[in-house]
Amino acid sequence: MDQSRRRRAYRTIVDPVEMAMKAGALGLALALGGFALPAHAQKKSVVTIATVLSVPSVANFWALEKGYFRDAGVDVRIESIDTLSKAMSLLATDQIQLAQGGINAGFFNAVGQGLPVVMALESGSTPVHHNFLVRADLKDEIHTPRDLKGRNVAVSGVGALSVYELGALMESVGMSLADVNVKPLGFTQMAPALASKALDVALMVAPFSDFAVAQNIAVPWIDPEEGYIRDLPMTSLAYLASADWIRNNRDIAGKVVQALVRAGRDYCQAYHHGANRGAMLDMMVANGIGKDRAQLDAIDWQSRDPDGAVNHASLADIRRLYKKEGFVEKDAPDERYVDDALAADAARALGPFEIENKASVLKGCR
């Protein structure tokens, strides 16, 4: 299938759901109920996956395009969302069944408040290639985390995982987020803010960090994975699921998770520059993950666990710091946050993962 036809097929599936989500939860339920499917599709279970577009999210479209969901007898619809927090109420009411995106305080608060939301499998982990950049004119003034006291430091959002990374950095020298001026900014805004001297330091990702360095706006400083994050690999992206949906449809849920783990393994082959990398890049461009294919090929891709396994210790430490810094109000028992039994079942069914490109020396995705 050529790229234009693939794009049209994807839009045919997604657009009714997208319109409904913009109208709110009730609108989504009405739209799904009224959307006429062909007779053959009506026999399949319908599952909606919401995803925050990023390089690892390509696995969703890959599973759809390669027929992994179809082979499992499941009709999957994919909907784009801005942040994982926006999916919490829809998951809790089983109006969408899965949502993929970056872990944030909203997930821990949802579970703490008793919402039936659970982490079903990991979809991103270290190396994540997040780096603290220092404004170029301050490179001789800022040497250690202690030098951040009173400084303006940008993170990608309130309660985002970057807040945890900054918090871990400050904890390493006995300090806290209260010792810095935390500035939530989108990645596209960080380089201009550094250039105007509104910021001193920013936690950035490629290609935004590459641009800031190339323009001599900032210099690389600290990779938080190197001695600052307590538990590695750090689980950074995940699929959250409706706990009610899993409980009431465990067989279907298992099939969907296995399809996602299978696609995640294909992603890992492309991550290691396997034979499918070109096709994976094409799918990223076709589904709006990025416009510049060459740039997508050049940047560092985020890793993921080939079995979809969640690092429970990493998740617990993220929760601990969020709670300490006041981003999480209520706690819940550990078992309420993760149900990765389906991911474990999928890994057993698929067998051990082996990297096709034996010459790859990249960390992660192993």
Q: What pLDDT, in 10s, does the model give residues 75-123?
A: 999 999 998 988 999 999 999 999 999 999 999 999 999 999 999 999 9
Mean of the pLDDT values across residues 17-46? 43
pLDDT at 38: 43
Instruction: Return the sign of the alpha-carbon dihedral for residues 92, 256, 331, 186.
Output: negative
What percentage of the chain reaches a pLDDT higher than 70? Answer: 88
Give the fold, CATH level 3, of 131-222.
Answer: D-Maltodextrin-Binding Protein; domain 2 (3.40.190)
Tens-digit pLDDT profile for residues 145-197:
999 999 999 999 999 999 999 999 999 999 999 999 999 999 999 999 999 99
Residue boundaries of the structural domains of the chain: 3-126+233-350, 131-222
Bridge partner list, 220: 133
What is the rounded CA–CA span in Å between residue 153 and residue 62? Answer: 37
Angle at 135 (CA atoms; ends 129, 136), nearest 5 degrees: 105
- Identify the CATH class of 3-126+233-350: alpha beta
Q: Output the DSSP codes for 42-107.
A: HTSEEEEEEEE-SGGGHHHHHHHHTTHHHHTTEEEEEEEES-GGGGHHHHHTTSSSEEEEE--HHH
**Other residues' Cβ atoms within 10 Å of the Cβ of residue 178:** 10
pTM, whole model, 2 decimals?
Answer: 0.86
Tens-digit pLDDT profile for residues 132-146:
999 999 999 999 999
Assigned token pair, 316: 């617990």
Q: Please give the backbone phi and psi of residue 89, each rounded to the nearest 5 degrees, phi first.
A: -65, -35
What is the rounded CA–CA span in Å between residue 260 and residue 45? Answer: 16
Q: In what order do the strands lie in the sheet with 201-204?
A: 181-184, 152-155, 201-204, 131-135, 218-222
43 falls in which pLDDT band (50, 70, 90)? low
17 falls in which pLDDT band (50, 70, 90)? very low
Q: Is the pLDDT of residue 6 over 80?
A: no
- Give yes or no on whether 3-126+233-350 and 131-222 have one common fold: yes
Helix, strand, or coil here: 242? Answer: strand
Mean of the pLDDT values across residues 331-340? 94
Residue among 229, 126, 236 at smallest CA distance from 172:
229
